[in-house]
Amino acid sequence: MAPRRPGGRGSDVGRPRDPGTDRSILRATIELLAEVGYARLTVAEVARRAGVSKPAIYRRWSQKSQLVVEAMVTQMRPARSSATGSAAGDLLFLTEQLIDILTRTPLGRVLPGLVAEMAADPVLATSYRELIIEPNQLDWRSAVERGIASGELAADTDTDFVLNSLAGPLYFSLLITGAPIEPGYARAAVDLVLARFGTGPGE
């Protein structure tokens, strides 16, 4: 069976894998990340908690960094489509979703330590960007493009500026200051973006 993630999965030639085993491994990885962080997480302990052998894990993921990132991908899936019918609604939904991920899932709890590990582990850094950051950015870019197409956002809207304005302060709070995210942050941040790039009355 070919790797599902480039450079991540082993060949696993033979009988088909049990999806339940995959889920058990990923769930055990998330639990351990929340408990001990990336640096202290071991494949041996993931295997023990998931009730599988180490070779069973390495047949699926050839290295720990790929296993960790794919486990985190399971925490990033949106509960519903971000297409709400308006640019403001889409951007608000995505901002609130990111806040929820960073404050209510294991990803937010382990991300500070994981970012530190990325500096020394280029494979981890590349996997994190390709499997988590880039797909997530596609959702935000699509929301901005829909807003431009509908006329709700100006044709010259700077998509990167919008993304950085909405998501950047959240990561700054989590990784740098440690300050809590204010309850009204999402609405206030979207209102600022609309004040700059919106085309509606008063914007």
152-182 tens-digit pLDDT: 999 999 999 999 999 999 999 988 898 899 9
Q: Dihedrals φ, ψ of 77, to 5°?
A: -70, 130
Query: At 79, is the pLDDT very low, low, confident or very high (cuts 50, 70, 90)?
Result: low
Judge residue 120's burial from the number of C-beta atoms within 10 Å of its C-beta, 0-12 exposed, 13-18 middle, 19 or more buried: exposed
88 vs 81, which has greater pLDDT?
88
> How far is residue 141's CA from residue 123's CA, in Å, rounded to a whole number?
26
Of 142, 144, 147, nearest to 162 by C-alpha is 144
pLDDT for res 19: 80
pLDDT for res 4: 44
Average pLDDT over residues 13-23: 72
